[in-house]
Amino acid sequence: MIRTVALIVPCYNEQEVLPVFYTTAVKVIDSLPQYAFTLLFVNDGSKDETLNILKKLSEKDERVKYLSFSRNFGKEAAMYAGFCNADADAVAVMDADLQDPPDLLPEMLRALEEEPFDSVATRRVTREGEPPVRSFFAHRFYHLINRISDADVVDGARDFRLMKREMVDAIVAMSEYNRFSKGIFGWVGFRTKWLPYKNVERAAGASKWSFWGLFKYSIDGIVNFSQAPLSIASYMGLISMLIAFIMVLFVVVRRLIFGDPVAGWASTICIILFIGGLQLMCMGIMGQYMAKTYMEVKNRPHFIISDTNCENPVRIH
């Protein structure tokens, strides 16, 4: 039985879109009087008027709660802070730019209550309005991560998802520092229903993701959920060893038959450069994992909250 619902909204420099988001979300919330809603905004160290807008909203509407970070910690940290501080029966994450349509909420709540699911997730079936290069690499990424990891990430999956308490508790318990939520949602399991919808473009303001930023995020996703790059590195070492062995045989036999060992300076240089590059690349892969381990071992908090109107907030975690 779901009585209370919390909507976590990460916001980073969203002054243009917040008022629109608020009115749109409230319309949907008001159409569902059987639930007590909380709008839990997480201000992720915005440099614009976001925090002031949130404070004003919370003064006139007591359903509005905010957590404000001491600096920008990233959307992953913002979502985690929301999960740690939301104590509702059902919790959803939702972008502030209305790319996660609040209109889907009634259907999500209905599915969660009437059907045997623990979570209702959304996925975009179109990517209209997105640069084609970005779509192409996004498709490749989903294909790759599903093949080499146990994370089970659906193509076009959004972070927009409504979850029952049990699943939220599981996510809070996954306190790893390097977070990749799409992987974490899949990893914890539970029965998930997928709602497809057509891509919606940002209502106002600009995307916070550059192509390079997304590229690094996808590498993080793979390193966090798969050991495959490490195996690939070892296999590459094995294969080049085999090739080297064959070449040694070739050189020795040629020496015995033709008696001229000194030839092929150019090919030698090529091989040295190739092997050198391979070694550096494999060390780089290992370095990626070591860097992640280093960050996990340091056990730094995911977020620091400097200002909030929540009662008994988890301020640092």
Closest CB to ligand UDP among residues 12, 37: 12
Q: Which of 65, 75, 179, 315 binds ligand UDP (CB under 6 A)?
A: 75
* Residue 108 binds: one of ligand UDP, Mg ion, none (C-beta under 5 to 8 A by kind): none
Whole-number Cα distances in Å, 56 to 38, 59, 66, 68, 76: 16, 5, 11, 14, 25
Q: Interface with Mg ion by CB under 5 A: which range of 6-14, 39-47, 95-103, 145-153?
A: 95-103
Closest CB to ligand UDP among residues 99, 226: 99
Closest CB to ligand UDP among residues 102, 233: 102
Min dist. Cβ of residue 90 to ligand UDP (A): 20
Q: Interface with ligand UDP by CB under 6 A: which range of 6-14, 102-110, 193-201, 232-240?
A: 6-14
Min dist. Cβ of residue 229 to ligand UDP (A): 25
Q: Which of 14, 16, 76, 97 binds Mg ion (CB under 5 A)?
A: 97
Q: Which of 81, 82, 91, 95 binds ligand UDP (CB under 6 A)?
A: 95
Answer yes or no whether residue 14 interacts with Mg ion by CB under 5 A.
no
Stated as kind and residue range, the H or E segment containing 86 is: none
* Inter-residue contact 42 to 314 (CB < 8 Å): no
Tokens at 303, concatenated: 């977020």
Answer yes or no whether residue 13 interacts with Mg ion by CB under 5 A.
no
Closest CB to Mg ion among residues 14, 118: 14
Q: b vs e for 55-91, b when ≥16 Cβ sit within 10 Å of the residue's Cβ?
A: eebbeeeebbbbbbbeebbbbbbbbbbbbbbbebbbb
* Inter-residue contact 124 to 37 (CB < 8 Å): no
Closest CB to ligand UDP among residues 58, 72: 72
Answer yes or no whether residue 211 interacts with ligand UDP by CB under 6 A.
no
Contacts of 276 (CB under 8 A, 6+ apart): none
Return the closest-CA partner of residue 165 out of 76, 92, 94.
92
* Inter-residue contact 164 to 112 (CB < 8 Å): yes
Answer yes or no whether residue 14 interacts with ligand UDP by CB under 6 A.
yes
**β-strands 64-69, 305-308 pairing:** antiparallel
**Is 137 buried (19+), middle (13-18) or exposed (0-12) by CB count in 10 A?**
middle
Q: How many residues does the chain have?
A: 317
Write out the binding residues for ligand UDP, residues 27-56 only, by CB under 6 A: 44
Tokens at 290, concatenated: 């070591």
Closest CB to ligand UDP among residues 40, 233: 40
d(CA 219, CA 183): 13
Closest CB to ligand UDP among residues 77, 233: 77
* Residue 209 binds: one of ligand UDP, Mg ion, none (C-beta under 5 to 8 A by kind): ligand UDP
Applying CB under 5 A, the residues found at the interface with Mg ion are 97, 99
* Interface residues toward ligand UDP, by CB under 6 A: 10-12, 14, 44, 72, 74-75, 78, 95-97, 99, 202, 207-209
